[in-house]
Amino acid sequence: MIRARAAILRRTGAPLSQETIALADPGPGDVLVHIRAAGLCHTDLEAIEGQLAVPLPAILGHEAAGEIAAIGPGVTDRAVGEHVVLSWNPHCGQCFYCDQDQPILCARYLGNAAASYHFDGAPRFFCDELPVHQLMYLGAFAEYCVVQAACAIPIPRALPFDQAALIGCGVMTGVGAATRIAALRWGATAMVIGCGAVGLSAVQGCRLAGAGRILAVDPNPARRALALRLGATEAVDPADAVAVARAATDGRGADVVIEAAGAPAAFALSLEAVRPGGEVVWLGKTAIGAEVPFRWGSLMQEKRITRSSYGGARPARDFPLIAQAALDGKLDLAAMISARLGLAEIDSGFAALKRGETVRGVVIFGHAA
Ligand SMILES: [Zn+2]
Ligand SMILES: [Zn+2]
């Protein structure tokens, strides 16, 4: 047993509770990770506000980096001291969907997600001897975390933890949309709708994939300016997006549109802005019961739509590549960090995320509040 400070969600809508937890020793196939940085993602906010159902009490946090502190029995391919980025998509490798190369749909992953414990159903976190759930098999808003070894992906030690953390969710999703999901050809015209952490990562992914023009769309001028810094060739207000896409392409529309805003109007806009035969990738989310209106005609003409939650991630393959791209100066992760905070300041970090003031706030463990 090891003890750790953690921020626990005990009741939706309430501030996270700062408490000390006890962690089970890593079991077979587990590793204990000393969390060094954890990003504040919209999915955590959905859990806090109750739009995403999570059994409580739970520890949130699914975008994190740290250092392996101990390994469980049978783990032969991880070592104490390795720097790791956490993946929230453990998968069995043996089910129908894993065989289809769609681990994000893994039967064991989806089947056990609602319980918010590991695949074996056993809790790893305890508070006052009562079990505490782990959001998305992680629960990284804690100084230590016990995860499946396969969810702790080693990365080069040279990458700072705050930057590395972002790889685990937002960066993987955005970069992956451009490099793993979309068939984005060199010289193509891409549009990214929404310039939060995922959208700015998609902008950078489009640059990595060799897009000729990258049109970044956001109503917020500061975010548009950041998109231009990160590789967008034009940054536009949503009201002008369709006209700009057409003007850039002899009237056709963008070859690829990546949606990362998570608003019904953005889904509709993506279909209007893409060219006939073009490709739309939807990354954002809206309320699960929401009806999303669009103009039927905008769907015609052989357009293809893909919804992706994790940018086609194969964490063991992609996290080290993304980390190396950051070290090589091909991806700017630091620019997406708008605030560094201590664990005790996490509620104000989520309030700022909700107000749209931050691209990414990152909890730095050991950071003086
Ligand atoms: Zn996330
Ligand atoms: Zn599977």
Question: Which of 289, 307, 325 is the endpoint of a domain?
Answer: 307
- Residue from 253, 243, 163, 238 nearest 194 by CA: 238
Q: In this predicted model, what pLDDT tens digit does every residue of 167-204 receive, in sequence order?
A: 999 999 999 999 999 999 999 999 999 999 999 999 99
Which amino acid type is present at position 213?
R
Ligand 2 centroid vs 247 CA: distance in angstroms?
Answer: 45
Q: Are residues 48 and 180 in the same domain?
A: no
Query: Would you tell me how many other CB atoms lie within 10 Å of the CB of residue 140?
Result: 33
Distance CA 332, CA 85 (A): 17
CB 179 within 8 A of CB 97: no
pLDDT of residue 368: 56
Q: Are residues 9 and 64 in the same domain?
A: yes
Residue 301 included in any domain:
yes
Ligand lying closest to the C-alpha of residue 197: 1
Residue 83 included in any domain:
yes
What spatial distance separates the first Cα and last Cα of the chain, rounded to whole Å? 27
Q: Are residues 137 and 213 in the same domain?
A: no
Q: Are residues 9 and 139 in the same domain?
A: yes
Q: Are residues 147 and 179 in the same domain?
A: no
Residue 245 included in any domain:
yes
Residue 169 included in any domain:
no
- Residues of the chain short of pLDDT 70, as ranges, are 368-369
Q: Are residues 196 and 231 in the same domain?
A: yes
pLDDT of residue 63: 98
Question: Which of 307, 323, 353 is the endpoint of a domain?
Answer: 307
- Residue from 217, 213, 172, 208 nearest 190 by CA: 213
Ligand 2 centroid vs 107 CA: distance in angstroms?
Answer: 5
Cβ contacts of 226 within 8 Å, gap of 6 or more: 195, 200, 335, 336, 359
Q: Are residues 133 and 22 in the same domain?
A: yes
Categorise residue 356: left if φ over 0, alpha if ψ from -120 to 50, beta otherwise: left
Three-state DSSP at 240 gives helix
Ligand lying closest to the C-alpha of residue 45: 1
Summary mean pLDDT of the chain: 96
Ligand 1 centroid vs 222 CA: distance in angstroms?
Answer: 22
Q: Are residues 14 and 129 in the same domain?
A: yes
Number of domain units in the chain = 2
Residue 281 included in any domain:
yes
Q: Which CATH number belongs to the domain containing residue 262 in this structure?
A: 3.40.50.720
Residue 39 included in any domain:
yes
Ligand lying closest to the C-alpha of residue 41: 1
Q: Are residues 148 and 181 in the same domain?
A: no
Q: In the 8-state DSSP scheme, what is residue 26?
A: P
Cβ contacts of 295 within 8 Å, gap of 6 or more: 268, 271, 272
Q: Are residues 45 and 188 in the same domain?
A: no
CB 145 within 8 A of CB 64: yes
Question: Which of 307, 325, 353 is the endpoint of a domain?
Answer: 307
Ligand 2 centroid vs 119 CA: distance in angstroms?
Answer: 11
Q: Are residues 38 and 102 in the same domain?
A: yes
Ligand 1 centroid vs 38 CA: distance in angstroms?
Answer: 11
Q: Which CATH number belongs to the domain containing residue 82 in this structure?
A: 3.90.180.10
Residue 347 included in any domain:
yes
Instruction: Write out the residue range of the structural domain in which residue 247 sits.
Output: 174-307
Ligand lying closest to the C-alpha of residue 105: 2
Ligand lying closest to the C-alpha of residue 87: 1
Residue 102 included in any domain:
yes
CA atoms within 13 Å, Cβ hemisphere of 165: 30
Q: Are residues 300 and 199 in the same domain?
A: yes
Ligand lying closest to the C-alpha of residue 172: 1
Handedness of CA 287, 214, 219, 276 (dihedral sign): negative
32, two tokens: 């204990």
